[in-house]
Amino acid sequence: MEKEYLMIPGPTPVPHEITQAMGSNIFNHRGPKFKDLIEDVTEKLKKVFATSNDLFILTTSGTGAMETGVVNFISPGDKVISLSNGSFGDRLANIARTYNADVENVHSEWGEPLDYEALEKKLDEDKDGKIKAILVVHNESSTGMMNDIERVSKLRKNHPALMIVDTVSSLGAVPVEVDEWNIDVCLTGSQKALLLPPGLAFISVNDRAWEVMQNCTQPVFYFSLQKAKDFLDVGQTPFTPAIPQVVALKEALDMILEKGRQYSFDRHYLMMQSVRKAAEGLGLELLVKEEASASRTVTAIKKPQDIEIKDLRSLMRNKYGVEIAGGQGKLSQEIFRIGHLGAITDMDVLTTIAALEMSLVELGSKVQLGSGVSKAQEVVMQKK
Amino acid sequence: MEKEYLMIPGPTPVPHEITQAMGSNIFNHRGPKFKDLIEDVTEKLKKVFATSNDLFILTTSGTGAMETGVVNFISPGDKVISLSNGSFGDRLANIARTYNADVENVHSEWGEPLDYEALEKKLDEDKDGKIKAILVVHNESSTGMMNDIERVSKLRKNHPALMIVDTVSSLGAVPVEVDEWNIDVCLTGSQKALLLPPGLAFISVNDRAWEVMQNCTQPVFYFSLQKAKDFLDVGQTPFTPAIPQVVALKEALDMILEKGRQYSFDRHYLMMQSVRKAAEGLGLELLVKEEASASRTVTAIKKPQDIEIKDLRSLMRNKYGVEIAGGQGKLSQEIFRIGHLGAITDMDVLTTIAALEMSLVELGSKVQLGSGVSKAQEVVMQKK
């Protein structure tokens, strides 16, 4: 008998109670039962988003929510700034470029912090408000870098550019304060820190973003937020939603809100620390050096020189049942990534480090068994 | 204790075995287990589509698949013909119009057959091949009309226009012969005749459609079929799929293919006949007069003069647990619709007719208890 540990930055394991909710009977999405459900989960989601803005549930992958965040607010020809330091930041820019935005790249090396100074300069120089939007990813799961959205918000000051923020792999696990940080459009997916399977995505829209949308000339149909609003006003979605995930969402939100957001933030912070300490204990190099910039949901670790990532992943998967992620794009041969978010626990982290140690030893690396686990244990023991 | 009967044209009830498959553990969508799964279900789906064309699984509602069928093949300014006689045909036209196609309407009254003669004339007159696509819905679930796709195909002859066909509420329940009928792009959803919850959609693409796509200038990202193809070539989807529904799809397809397509076709034909005979027995008028044009998955019935549809639906729902659908758009106050597709059975139809009779009597209509049920029974008894 093998137990499987899904330690990738999403999709994440789903708790048993939520899996059970997925098995609910299917019912009419244009009837009173669905109306009660969607109104309930929408209000609860707003608490997790820390917002009183409008908020919508979309039946799509996270990337569909990224597209929704672009096509409803950015007209062809609009100048937008893409702040990026990884694969998902680049994806957001690519979506805007696909839909004919005039995208100005403010890109840093993958694994380096965002270039906040360059952003500030560009905004300061833009006296006539040509820049219509700033596109930025909160948690760059391709590198394990957490970007500072509050700082981006402060740098924007009174510039009219919309902040369109991808929080797919952060919201729920780390503070995302949509109203306090003035995030005009905030989007996330179901399959990361929100304890759900993939299939749904969520997006919040503030008044300023609604105003911009009124004049947006981009064609939009399935991802139309105006349609989403018109239907939510009568307790529906414009198109048939992924009902099992919506039912499960209620269970997940009740679970999250019962313990409170802070409980989840603390838990993810501890897991991040334990993985980082374990890597240090093993003498492995972290891609993101500063803990302050480190993702609390995924950690990227550089591989030992003499080991191939595909061999490490195969051995961990096949012998120990632990699935970790490789690198993406230009880092695919250099790093491996451990996801520690959602229903993953600190004990799963210990198991993963143990499997990592055994696999490294078997592949010929000169690490000491226990040298990573023991460091992770020291962190885990601090939990109250 | 109340049992619920979901008798609407989708979403449809889901068999227990498939619901259980939805509860599978979440796993890596970029690993070998997912590769095996998607390759298996894609091949099995092709059998249900009766095609050897490429076929893709999308994480979206059916309307997202309609958009996919438009934006990958129709460039802004392209002349397309919309053949429509109901709400979903109009939706397909609206999507094309939203994305700046030059849409020529060949529309019939809702509940009337398509205007095949007008289509033939337009194609014959289009000597220089200006018409790039014909948009048509197979089963117009808003009215209970089944359109004749084979006839559309024959009328097209050698005209180069692509046939883009929405089979959302028909595929699996009635013959859709993608290859035999030369359907260039055929799309459907998970939550109708394919026994699954909502959350996935499927689309097939033939060589001619791929050629058109190479020159399509419409922007597309999330719904890009080129991306879908590139990723399917390595056993993946471009973006995180709704994993529970993909796992359940395997169970559903095994269930469908074990009995064979003909079994499903026969079953749906019988249910259609039994509902129509019951309506006759009750002295109620069918919206679609000719059985040959009648949908085999949903039947629209005109309400008795002295009864409000919302009262009828409420009573059936609240007292008997039977959920039927009202009309859509311009027919919303005139018809009610009974869905009989997917995991719905002939016995569910009898239950529904019984509830309909009791509700009509309670609302003051002069129908005889049993006058509809008995007619439906005569049909159901014919089953082998």
Q: Is B189 on the interface with A (CB under 8 A)?
A: yes
Q: Tell me whether A240 touches chain B (CB under 8 Å).
A: yes
Helices (H), ranges, chain B: 16-22, 32-49, 62-71, 87-98, 116-125, 149-156, 207-214, 225-232, 243-259, 261-281, 309-320, 346-362, 373-380
Residue A21 DSSP SS3? helix
- Long-range contacts for A310-313 (Cβ within 8 Å, ≥24 apart)? A311/A363, A312/A336, A312/A356, A312/A359, A312/A360, A312/A363
**Phi, psi at A56, each rounded to 5°:** -130, 150
Tokens matching residue B140: 């117009």
| Interfacial A residues in 276-315 facing B (CB < 8 Å) | none
Return the residue in A188, A221, A223, A309 with the most chain B beta carbons within 10 A, the one to mutate for interface testing. A221
Inform me whether the pLDDT recorded for A263 exceeds 90. yes
Identify the sign of the CA torsion A221, A224, A226, A230.
positive
Give the chain B residue whose CA is nearest to the CA of A99. Answer: B219
Residues of chain B positioned with their CB less than 8 A from the CB of A239 = 61-64
CA neighbours within 13 Å on the CB side: how many for B52? Answer: 1
Local structure of residue A46 (DSSP, 8 states): H
d(CA B161, CA A40): 47
Instruction: Kindly give the pairing relationship between strand B322-326 and strand B5-7.
Output: parallel
ipTM surpassing 0.85, yes or no? Answer: yes
CB contact under 8 A, B198 and A99: no
Quote the DSSP letter at residue B254: H
CA proximity to B222, closest of A75, A136, A61: A61
Question: Which residues 1-20 in chain B show a CB within 8 A of chain A?
Answer: 4, 6, 8, 10-14, 19-20
C-alpha B21/C-alpha B13 separation (Å) is: 15
Find which of A3, A29, A61 to mutate to test the B interface (most B CBs within 10 Å of its CB): A61
**Neighbour tally for B97: CB within 10 Å:** 17
Quick check: B226 and B214 in contact, CB under 8 A? no
In whole angstroms, what is the distance from residue A378 CA to residue B279 CA? 73
CB contact under 8 A, B221 and A28: no
The enclosing H or E element of A250 equals: helix A243-259
Question: What residue in A sits closest to B58 (Cα-Cα)?
Answer: A60
* Same structural domain, B145 and B220: yes
In angstroms, the separation between the Cα of residue A124 and the nearest Cα of chain B is 32
Question: Same domain for A234 and A328?
Answer: no
Q: What angle do CA B106, B331, B272 make, to 5 degrees?
A: 85
Residue-wise over A1-12: b if at least 16 C-beta within 10 A, else e? eeebbbbbbbbb
Q: Is A375 on the interface with B (CB under 8 A)?
A: no
- For residue A384, what are its two tokens? 């109250």
| Chain A residue with minimum CA distance to B101 | A219
Phi, psi of B131 (to 5 degrees): -75, 120
In A, which residues are within 8 Å of B58 by CB distance? Answer: none
Q: Residue A325: its chain B contacts at CB < 8 A?
A: 28, 30
Average pLDDT, chain A: 97
Q: How close A358 comes to chain B (CA, Å)?
A: 21
Q: Do A189 and B61 touch (CB under 8 A)?
A: no
Are A239 and B19 inside 8 Å of each other by CB?
no
Query: Which CATH number covers residue B337?
Result: 3.90.1150.10
Could you give the C-alpha distances from A243 to A17, A203, A239, A240, in angstroms and in order? Answer: 16, 18, 11, 8
Cα A27 to chain centroid distance, Å, stands at 30
Residues of B in contact with A25 (CB under 8 A): 4, 6, 13-14
Q: Does B26 touch chain A (CB under 8 A)?
A: yes
Contacts of A242 in chain B (CB under 8 A): 61, 197-199, 242, 245
B327 in contact with A at a CB cutoff of 8 Å?
Answer: no
Residue B371, helix vs strand vs coil: coil
- pTM (global) more than 0.95: yes
Measured between CB atoms, does A266 come within 8 Å of chain B?
Answer: no
Q: Which residues of B touch A31 (CB under 8 A)?
A: 317, 323
Cα-Cα-Cα-Cα dihedral sign, residues B234, B218, B245, A2: positive
Q: Which of B258, B275, B309 is the last residue of a domain?
A: B258
pLDDT at B1 (0 to 100): 67
Q: Are residues A90 and A53 in the same domain?
A: yes
Domain boundary among A231, A258, A285: A258
pLDDT confidence bin for A384, thresholds 50/70/90: confident
Helix/strand/coil for B80: strand
Residues A46 and A153 placed together within one structural domain of the fold:
yes
Please indicate, yes or no, whether residues B134 and B96 belong to a single structural domain of this protein. Answer: yes
Inter-chain residue contact B219 with A28, CB threshold 8 Å: no
What 3-state class would DSSP assign to B55? strand
Q: Contact B63/A222 with Cβ under 8 angstroms?
A: yes
Overall domain count for chain A: 2
The shortest CB-CB distance from B244 to any of A4, A8, A244 is to: A244
Q: Do residue A61 and residue B199 have CB atoms under 8 angstroms apart?
A: no
Q: What pLDDT, in 10s, does the model give residues B10-37?
A: 999 999 999 999 999 999 999 999 999 9
Whether residues A107 and A171 fall in one domain: yes
Task: Choose one of A210, A242, A258: the last residue of a domain.
Answer: A258
Q: Are residues B147 and B158 in the same domain?
A: yes
Q: Which residues contact B30 (CB under 8 A, 6 or more apart)?
A: A325, B236
A98 and A148 part of one domain? yes
Domain check: are B102 and B42 in the same one?
yes
Chain A residues in contact with B62 by the CB 8 A cut-off are: 239-240
Residues B365, B277, single domain; the answer is: yes
CB contact under 8 A, A59 and B64: yes
Comparing alpha-carbon positions, the chain A residue that sits nearest to B245 is: A199
Cα–Cα nearest to A147, from A181, A122, A180, A123: A181
B262 touches chain A (CB under 8 A): no
| Chain centre to alpha carbon of residue B36 | 28
| C-alpha–C-alpha distance, residues A74 and A100, integer Å | 9
- Answer whether B67 sits within 8 Å of A98, measured CB to CB: no
Are A205 and A347 members of one domain?
Answer: no
For the stretch A309-325, pLDDT in tens is 999 999 999 999 999 99
Helix or strand run (H / E) with residue A136: strand A131-137
Contact B196, B208 (CB under 8 A): no
Please give the C-alpha separations between residue A310 and each of A4, A6, A45, A317, A332, in angstroms, as whole numbers. Answer: 18, 16, 38, 10, 10
Q: Which residues of B touch A244 (CB under 8 A)?
A: 22, 197, 199, 244-245
Q: Which domain holds residue A267?
A: 5-11+260-380
The Cα–Cα gap between B340 and B349 comes to 7
Compute the nearest-CA separation of A95 from chain B (Å).
Answer: 6
Query: Tokens standing for A245?
Result: 């995930």
Pairwise CA distance, residues A270 & A328, whole Å: 25
User: CB distance from B337 to chain A under 8 Å?
Assistant: no
Nearest residue of A to residue B237 by CA position? A61
**Cβ contact B62–A198 (<8 Å):** no
**Euclidean distance between CA atoms B211 and B113, whole angstroms:** 32
Query: pLDDT tens, A134-175?
Result: 999 999 999 999 999 999 999 999 999 999 999 999 999 999
Using 50, 70 and 90 to split pLDDT, how confident is the model at A295? very high
- Distance (Å, whole) CA A248 – CA A242: 10
Which stretches of chain B drop beneath a pLDDT of 70? 1
Chain A residue with minimum CA distance to B238: A63
Amino acid A117: pLDDT: 98
Cβ-based contacts of B325 with chain A (< 8 Å): 28, 30
pLDDT reported for residue A2:
78
**pLDDT at residue A27 greater than cutoff 90:** yes
Show Cβ contacts of residue A292 under 8 Å, excluding neighbours closer than 6 positions. none
CA distance B202 to B225: 11
Cα of A87 vs its chain's centroid, Å: 12
Chain B positions touching A222 (Cβ under 8 A) are: 60-61, 63-64, 66-67, 223
Q: Which residue has the tokens 């958009």?
A: B67
Q: What is the CATH number of the domain that holds B178?
A: 3.40.640.10
Neighbours of A352 (CB within 10 A): 27
Distance (Å) from the alpha carbon of B3 to chain A's nearest alpha carbon: 11
DSSP 8-state secondary structure symbol assigned to residue A333: T
State both tokens at B73. 């093949």
Query: Looking at CA atoms only, how far is residue B225 from chain A in angstroms?
Result: 14
pLDDT over 90 at A1, yes or no: no
* H-type alpha helices, A78-219: 87-98, 116-125, 149-156, 207-214
The structure tokens listed for A155 are: 């740098």
- The Cβ of residue B124 has, within 10 Å, a number of other Cβ atoms equal to 11
Please indicate, yes or no, whether residues B286 and B246 belong to a single structural domain of this protein: no
